[in-house]
Amino acid sequence: MKLAQGDQSPLFNIDGVNFSYLKRAGLYIVATSRFDNGPSLILEILNKVCTIIKDFCGVLSEEAIRKNFILIYELLDETLDFGYP
């Protein structure tokens, strides 16, 4: 994967916490975990979250997230049940 100058790798670990992120439409969609999860699983979940938000809100943007926060919260609750996809 080629990164622009100053960009951080989308998967990194700091003090035992695994961080994963995707950057879509100027937004960072982030997941954290203290367990060793498969990186491809986490990135796929983040990608699906972006797709679900876009499907239900029409567009993935900061304004759409603000306007539909309760809907997105409920979608995440249904999608990730106790942290399991």
Domain boundaries, the chain: 11-79
Judge whether residue 1 has pLDDT over 70: no
Neighbouring CB atoms inside 10 A of 24's CB total: 17
Select from 5, 37, 3, 1 the least CA-distant residue to 19.
37
Mean pLDDT of the chain: 87
Which of 1-5, 50-54, 60-64, 78-82 is least confident? Answer: 1-5
Report pLDDT for 5.
Answer: 62
CATH number, domain 11-79, options 1.20.120.10, 3.30.2350.10, 3.30.450.60, 3.30.70.1400: 3.30.450.60
Contact 50, 22 (CB under 8 A): yes
Name the pTM for this structure: 0.80
Alpha carbon of 62 to those of 27, 44, 57, 72: distances in Å? 7, 21, 11, 12
